[in-house]
């Protein structure tokens, strides 16, 4: 669980995050949504320890980050898995080498043991048989799977995903969403996902933080977000034509 309390972060005198309070729950897919520029990435980077907030506290399983020792901060970074927007695979490495990379960086285990773990996670994301392929030889959806396998290979407690669906067709995007959700439950991970995709909200929105202009404007889950009359939320949720039509049809009882 990651708890953010009264978090403030700004740049050059301009306040970007204006006192965020939110609990990212364990074993849940926690989504951060909101328009461009609302502060989603800044919030994520504060949680990753990349930005230092001016005010407020971030607690990892109850312990405030500002009380962590240098060694505890290093340990925390080992407990974090990251799925980047474009997948961010190393082009010149095979699938296997990509997934092996964090193990070689962070563990002192023997290569044979590490390779066994790589095989295990590749199997979990249904990529067995693709070990020796290069990223350029596999589809976008498969690349995202590699990226997920690499993020979980060190058994992280926290998984951060920055728009894991970008660039995928809707069907593949849903498969990737479901995979992230299954892994979150299976391994009891606190998963935090930035997304612009309302399908993802519908599919895996177990705990949602909606940011507007650096403020937590709404929180809830997928069953609540499509029922709320809060105009700030509906303006955002129904900003796409498709969702406007669904809303109209619902209101007309179609
Ligand atoms: N390192 C930085 N220095 C100065 N300003 C920054 C920095 N990082 C972000 N900002 C500003 O903070 C604001 C929020 O940016 P942020 O990237 O968090 O938005 P976002 O909600 O993630 O948007 P998007 O959906 O487009 O990625 C923007 O005005 C941005 O210019």
103 ligand 1 Cβ < 6 A: no
169 domain residue, yes or no: yes
Q: What is the pLDDT of residue 254?
A: 66
**Digit-coded pLDDT (tens) for 119-162:** 999 999 999 889 999 999 999 999 999 999 999 999 999 999 99
Of residues 159 and 167, the one with the higher pLDDT is 159
Taking the model in full, what pTM does it have?
0.91
Give the mutation target among 10, 40, 45, 51 for probing the ligand 1 site: most ligand atoms within 8 A of CB: 40
Atom of ligand 1 nearest to the CA of 11: 4
Q: Which 3-state string (H, E, C) describes the chain?
A: CEEEEEEEEEECCEEEEEEEEEEECCCEEEEEECCCCCCHHHHHHHHCCCCCCCEEEEEECCEEHHHCCHHHHHHHHHCEEEECCCCCCCCCCCHHHHHHHHHHHHCCCCHHHHHHHHHHHHHHCCCCCCCCCCHHHCCHHHHHHHHHHHHHCCCCCEEEEECCCCCCCHHHHHHHHHHHHHHHHHCCCEEEEECCCHHHHHHHCCEEEEEECCEEEEEECHHHHCCCCCHHHHHHHCCCHHHHHHHHHHHCCC
Pairing of strands 55-60, 63-64: antiparallel
Residue 208 has pLDDT above 80, yes or no: yes
91 domain residue, yes or no: no
Counted residue by residue, the chain has a size of: 254
116 domain residue, yes or no: no
Confidence of residue 234 (pLDDT cuts 50, 70, 90): confident
11 ligand 1 Cβ < 6 A: yes
Q: What is the pLDDT of residue 153?
A: 95
Mean pLDDT, rounded, of the chain: 91
- 216 forms beta bridges with 211
11 domain residue, yes or no: yes
144 domain residue, yes or no: no
- φ, ψ for residue 20, nearest 5 deg: -90, 130
- Say which residues have a Cβ less than 8 Å from residue 46's Cβ, sequence separation at least 6: 4, 7, 9, 17, 52, 53, 58
Give the ipTM: 0.97
150 domain residue, yes or no: no
**What is the total count of domains within the chain?**
1
Orientation angle between helical segments 140-152 and 95-106, nearest 10 degrees: 20
CATH number at residue 203: 3.40.50.300
Residue 49 sits in which domain range?
2-79+156-251
108 domain residue, yes or no: no
- Cα of 68 from ligand 1 centre, angstroms: 26
204: closest CA among 232, 179, 240, 170? 179
d(Cα 254, Cα 250) in Å, to the nearest integer? 6
- Say which residues have a Cβ less than 8 Å from residue 23's Cβ, sequence separation at least 6: 1, 2, 3, 4, 207
126 domain residue, yes or no: no
Closest residue to atom 13 of ligand 1, CA basis: 37
195 ligand 1 Cβ < 6 A: no
């Amino acid at each position: 669980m990651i708890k953010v309390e009264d978090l403030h972060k700004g740049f050059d005198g301009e306040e970007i995050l204006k006192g965020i309070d939110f609990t990212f729950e364990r074993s849940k897919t926690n989504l951060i949504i909101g328009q461009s520029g609302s502060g989603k990435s800044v919030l994520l980077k504060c949680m990753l320890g990349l930005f230092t907030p001016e005010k407020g506290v971030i607690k990892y399983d109850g312990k405030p980050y500002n009380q962590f020792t240098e060694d505890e901060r290093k340990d925390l970074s080992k407990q974090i898995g990251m799925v980047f927007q474009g997948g961010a695979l190393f082009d010149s490495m095979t699938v296997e080498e990509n997934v092996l990379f964090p193990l070689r960086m962070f563990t002192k285990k023997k290569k044979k043991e590490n390779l066994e773990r790589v095989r295990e996670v590749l199997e979990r994301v249904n990529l067995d048989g693709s070990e020796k392929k290069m990223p350029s030889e596999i589809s976008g959806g498969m690349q995202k799977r590699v990226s997920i396998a690499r993020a979980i290979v060190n058994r992280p407690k926290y998984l951060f995903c920055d728009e894991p669906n970008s660039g995928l067709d809707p069907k593949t995007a849903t498969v990737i969403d479901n995979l992230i959700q299954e892994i979150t439950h299976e391994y009891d991970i606190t998963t935090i996902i930035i997304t612009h995709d309302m399908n993802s909200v519908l599919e895996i929105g177990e705990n949602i933080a909606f940011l507007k202009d650096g403020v937590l404007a709404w929180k809830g889950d997928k069953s609540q977000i499509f029922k709320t009359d809060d105009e700030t939320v509906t303006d955002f949720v129904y900003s796409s034509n498709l969702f406007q039509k669904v809303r109209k049809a619902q209101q007309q009882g179609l």
